[in-house]
Each structure stands twice: as structure tokens, then as C-alpha cells.
């Protein structure tokens, strides 16, 4: 094992041959077609959420399904944000954000906030929401659960940023309803 490989294994616990790197730091990315990769990942059923932030006097929101729990001590979660999306710059500036986990009844809201090019001003006029007590960001009234986060860390990952948040508050709906899911490029319902 080279010094580089040994150092990489020590620092990350990941051997260089599994990390996309070769000895000397050369990159080996393989030849996976992005469209085919998207189809494969479309076979993975996910929940649907709305991520929201407030930068200056403007509310920003987007539909997301790339969301995960990261840690219980401290309580951390992560969401993947496309760097070219206007939401990216807003949430990076604000440093605080909210997550609303959606029931099936919020399918139209999810579709609206997933629409590229929608007007920024007034984008939440069609949405019932309240302000989170910890962050002041918009949280959907009909969500199955909500979380408020302060940005803990960010990781640049290809054309996205992994936004890691320290969870400041959580709220669970008394009657959450059926979960809105995303599968093979379409919204669905999980009973």
C-alpha cells in the first residue's frame, strides 16, 4: 500500500480504490450514463418534502426528496440542493431552513414548488403555512411533520451541495394522513 493509500484509509476509513481515486490522486469516475443512473434512482421510493428558507424579506421554497437523517447526537439531518437552483444561494445566505414532510393531500403544493421558473415573489401565496418559532421560516400547516434547522455544515458534491442542518425543533401532526411519495418520476401515495 502506498503512503497516499495508507493516509487516505487512515483519514477516511475508505480505501483509495473504492473512493473514485487512484494512487497519486488521479480520478477514475467510470462510465455510468447520467440518464440511466436517474432511471435507477427513480426505482428508489422516497418521501416528499418542502424545504424552505427566508433570505432578506423573501420566502424561498422547493420540493425535495433527497433528504436523510444524519445523526442523533447531535441531532442532524441533510438535504441535497442543486447548486444552480436559486434556492441554493438563498439557503446558503440565510443559514436556517425548515422541512415540511408532505402528506398525499399536499400533492399540488409539491408539484407547484417543484416547477422550475415559477415566480419567486408570492410563490407561497397558494400555500397554507405558519412561521417556525425557532427560525421564522415558512412551515406548511398541513405537513405530517416539520423540522427547523440551522446550517451545521455543507459539502460540495458534484452539481449539488449537501446541506447538513442541526435540528432546532420538530413538530408532528396529530393526524398525519397518508404519505406523499415519489417513485419513477411521479408522485404517489403510501397508505
**Tell me: the pLDDT tens digits for 121-174?**
999 998 999 999 999 999 999 999 999 999 999 999 999 999 999 999 999 998
Cell of 26: 488521479
Domain range 33-184, its CATH number among 1.10.3720.10, 2.130.10.10, 3.50.50.60, 2.30.110.10: 2.30.110.10
Mean pLDDT of 92-117: 95
pLDDT in the model for residue 29? 65
Check pLDDT > 50 for residue 7.
no
pLDDT in the model for residue 120? 87
Domain edges within the chain? 1-30, 33-184
Between the alpha carbon of residue 94 and those of residues 49, 50, 56, 59, 155, the distances in Å are 19, 16, 8, 11, 17
Instruction: Write the secondary structure of the chain as one string of H (helix), E (strand) and C (coil).
Output: CCHHHHHHHHHHCCCHHHCCECHHHCECCCCCCHHHHHHHHCCCCEECEEEEEEECCEEEEEEECCEEEEEECCEEEEEEEECCCHHHHHHHHHCEEEEEECEHHHHHHHHHHCCCCCCCCCCCCCCCEEECCCCCCEEECCCCEEEEEEEEEEEEECCEEEEEEEEEEEEECCCCCCEEEEECCEEEEEC
d(CA 47, CA 42): 12
More confident residue, 107 or 24: 107
More confident residue, 29 or 93: 93
**Tell me: the pLDDT tens digits for 44-100?**
888 999 999 999 999 999 999 999 999 999 999 999 999 999 999 999 999 999 999
pLDDT in the model for residue 43? 85
Check pLDDT > 50 for residue 9.
no
Check pLDDT > 50 for residue 8.
no
Q: What is the pTM of this model?
A: 0.82
Amino acid at each position: 500500500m502506498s503512503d497516499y493509500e495508507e493516509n487516505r484509509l487512515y483519514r477516511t476509513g475508505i480505501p483509495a480504490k473504492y473512493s473514485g481515486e487512484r494512487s497519486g490522486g488521479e480520478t477514475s469516475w467510470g462510465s455510468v450514463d447520467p440518464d440511466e443512473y436517474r432511471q435507477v434512482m427513480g426505482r428508489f421510493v422516497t418521501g416528499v418534502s418542502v424545504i424552505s428558507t427566508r433570505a432578506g424579506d423573501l420566502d424561498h421554497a422547493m420540493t425535495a426528496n433527497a433528504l436523510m437523517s444524519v445523526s442523533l447526537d447531535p441531532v442532524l439531518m441533510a438535504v441535497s440542493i442543486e447548486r444552480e437552483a436559486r434556492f441554493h444561494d438563498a439557503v446558503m445566505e440565510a443559514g436556517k431552513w425548515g422541512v415540511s414532510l408532505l402528506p398525499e393531500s399536499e400533492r399540488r403544493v409539491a408539484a407547484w414548488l417543484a416547477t422550475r421558473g415559477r415566480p419567486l415573489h408570492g410563490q407561497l401565496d397558494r400555500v397554507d403555512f405558519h412561521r417556525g418559532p425557532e427560525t421564522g421560516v415558512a412551515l406548511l400547516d398541513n405537513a405530517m411533520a416539520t423540522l427547523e434547522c440551522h446550517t451545521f455544515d455543507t459539502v460540495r458534491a458534484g452539481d449539488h451541495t449537501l446541506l447538513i442542518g442541526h435540528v432546532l425543533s420538530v413538530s408532528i401532526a396529530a393526524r398525519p394522513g397518508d404519505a406523499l411519495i415519489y417513485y419513477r418520476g411521479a408522485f404517489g401515495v403510501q397508505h
